[in-house]
């Protein structure tokens, strides 16, 4: 039987250069972290905003970025001090090719979250990925380091990938395991 950690290790081994993956940024030490950050908002308004974000995510997953952006923007209008919609809209903007807009939203999410909690970890990871893909590995490393220090397993994996020695070891280990599965003649 494969544990969640085993699966993460195998994913990192077999996909050492994958820039995106499942980003589960829940804090195992404080699973109520999001609830604590959202408690200052009116419950009915928060529920409406969360529903808008869910509809936006569903629209983005189906390829309808225009609707996704409308839903996220509406959520931001209703609760402009909540970081989650900024993270979500940043992802949709990035998918649309608007890197400047995405980085602006991620920076705003970091301001609103005061660099702490799930929203901050997600924003740091997203911004780190964008920076890495744009060749700014030092700034990406700083974002991943901050997210990793707050418990982000994905950020820790990205830090390993930015380490050339770790990346080389991962590739060699992946090749070795592949050769064990399918021996070369």
pLDDT over 70 at 113, yes or no: yes
Torsion sign across C-alpha atoms 5, 168, 152, 74? negative
Burial degree of 91 (CB within 10 A; 0-12, 13-18, 19+): buried
The reported pTM is 0.71
Cβ atoms of residues 156 and 148 within 8 Å: yes
pLDDT over 90 at 72, yes or no: yes
Whose CA is closest to 9, among 123, 183, 156, 168?
Answer: 156
pLDDT over 50 at 1, yes or no: no
Cβ atoms of residues 121 and 92 within 8 Å: no
The helix or strand, by DSSP H or E, that contains position 67, with its residue range, turns out to be: helix 65-78
Higher pLDDT, 35 or 179: 179
Confidence class of residue 8 from pLDDT cuts 50, 70 and 90?
low
pLDDT over 70 at 55, yes or no: yes
CA distances from 110 to 16, 55, 85, 114, 159 (A): 27, 23, 12, 6, 20
pLDDT at 42: 85
**For 41-181, CATH number?**
1.25.40.10
pLDDT over 70 at 161, yes or no: yes
Mean pLDDT of 162-179: 77
pLDDT at 21: 42
Mean pLDDT of 106-130: 94
Higher pLDDT, 145 or 29: 145
Do you know the residue count of the chain?
A: 185
Cβ atoms of residues 71 and 56 within 8 Å: yes
18: left (phi over 0), alpha (psi -120 to 50) or beta: beta
């Amino acid at each position: 039987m494969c544990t969640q950690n085993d699966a993460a290790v195998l994913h990192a081994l077999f996909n050492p250069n994958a820039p995106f993956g499942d980003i589960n940024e829940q804090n195992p030490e404080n699973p109520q972290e999001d609830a604590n950050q959202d408690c200052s908002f009116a419950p009915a308004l928060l529920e409406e905003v969360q529903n808008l974000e869910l509809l936006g995510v569903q629209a983005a997953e189906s390829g309808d970025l225009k609707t996704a952006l409308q839903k996220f923007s509406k959520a931001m209008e209703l609760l402009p001090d909540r970081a989650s919609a900024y993270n979500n809209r940043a992802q949709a903007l990035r998918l649309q090719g608007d890197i400047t807009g995405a980085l602006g939203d991620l920076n705003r999410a970091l301001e609103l979250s005061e660099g702490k909690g799930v929203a901050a970890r997600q924003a740091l990871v997203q911004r780190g990925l964008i920076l890495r893909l744009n060749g700014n590995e030092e700034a990406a490393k700083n974002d991943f380091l901050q997210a990793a220090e707050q418990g982000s397993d994905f950020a820790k994996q990205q830090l390993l990938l930015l380490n050339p020695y770790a990346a080389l070891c991962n590739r060699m280990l992946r090749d070795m395991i592949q050769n064990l599965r399918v021996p070369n003649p």
